[in-house]
Structure 1
Amino acid sequence: MPHGEPGAERETVSDTESRIEPEPLAAPARLWPALGAVYRAQLSRARFARIPLLFVATFQSLGIMILMRGVVDGGAEARAVVAGASVLVVAFVALNLLAQYFGQLRASGGLDHFATLPVPAASVVLGAAGAYASFTVPGVVLTAVFGSVLFGLPLGGLWVLVAVVPLAGAALAGLGATLGLSAPRAELATLCGQLGMSAALLLGVLPAGRLPEPVRWLRDLLPSTYGVEALAAALEPVPEWGRVAVDLGVCAAVGLVSLTVATWAYRRAAVR
Structure 2
Amino acid sequence: MVGGGEAAVALAPRVAVWGALGAVYRAQLSRARVARIPLLFVATFQSVGIMVLMRGVVDGGGDEARAVVAGSAVLVVAFVALNLLAQYFGHLRAAGGLDHYATLPVPGAAVALGTAAAYASFTVPGVLVTAVVGALLYQLPLGGLWVALAVVPLAGAALAGLGAALGLLAPRAELATLCGQLGMSAALLLGVLPEPRLPEPARWLRDLLPSSYGVDALAAALGPRPDWGSVAANLTVCAVVGALALALATWAYRRAAVR
TM-score > 0.5, shorter chain as reference: yes
Question: What does residue 110 of structure 1 align with?
Answer: 97
Question: What does residue 255 of structure 2 align with?
Answer: 268
Match of 1:37 among 12, 18, 23: 23
**Within-5 A mapping of 1:11-90:** 26-74=12-60, 75-90=62-77
The structure-2 alpha-carbon separation of the partners of 1:133 and 1:237, relative to structure 1 and needing over 3 Å to count, comes to same
User: Helix, strand or coil: the match of 2:144?
Assistant: helix
- Looking at structure 2, the residues matched to 160 and 182 of structure 1 have their Cα atoms a distance apart, in angstroms, of 33
| Unpaired runs of at least 5, structure 2 | none
Instruction: For residue 29 of structure 1, report the CA deviation from its aligned partner.
Output: 1.1
User: Helix, strand or coil: the match of 1:154?
Assistant: coil
Residue 152 in structure 1 maps to residue 139 in structure 2: yes
TM-score by structure 1 length?
0.91
Residue 226 in structure 1 maps to residue 213 in structure 2: yes
- Looking at structure 2, the residues matched to 54 and 99 of structure 1 have their Cα atoms a distance apart, in angstroms, of 16
* Partner deviation per Cα, 1:124-147 (whole Å, 9 max, x = no partner): 011111111122111100000000
Instruction: For residue 27 of structure 1, report the CA deviation from its aligned partner.
Output: 3.5
Match of 2:178 among 191, 202, 205: 191
Q: CA RMSD in A?
A: 1.3
* Partner deviation per Cα, 1:240-271 (whole Å, 9 max, x = no partner): 11110010000000000000001000000000
* Partner deviation per Cα, 1:50-96 (whole Å, 9 max, x = no partner): 00000000000000000000000031000000000000000000000
TM-score by structure 2 length?
0.95
User: Helix, strand or coil: the match of 1:71?
Assistant: coil
Q: Highest CA radius of gyration, 1 or 2? A: 1
Question: 2:86 touches 2:180 (CA, 8 Å); kept in 1?
Answer: yes
* Partner deviation per Cα, 1:202-259 (whole Å, 9 max, x = no partner): 0000000000111100000001000000000000100111110010000000000000
Instruction: For residue 26 of structure 1, report the CA deviation from its aligned partner.
Output: 4.3
- Looking at structure 2, the residues matched to 25 and 112 of structure 1 have their Cα atoms a distance apart, in angstroms, of 16
User: Helix, strand or coil: the match of 2:69?
Assistant: helix
Question: What does residue 121 of structure 1 align with?
Answer: 108
Question: What does residue 4 of structure 1 align with?
Answer: none
Aligned AA (1:60): Q
Identity of aligned residues (%): 78
More deviation in 172-181 or 127-136? 127-136
Instruction: For residue 181 of structure 1, report the CA deviation from its aligned partner.
Output: 0.3
| Unpaired runs of at least 5, structure 1 | 1-16
Aligned AA (1:34): A
Aligned AA (1:69): R
Question: 2:12 touches 2:105 (CA, 8 Å); kept in 1?
Answer: no
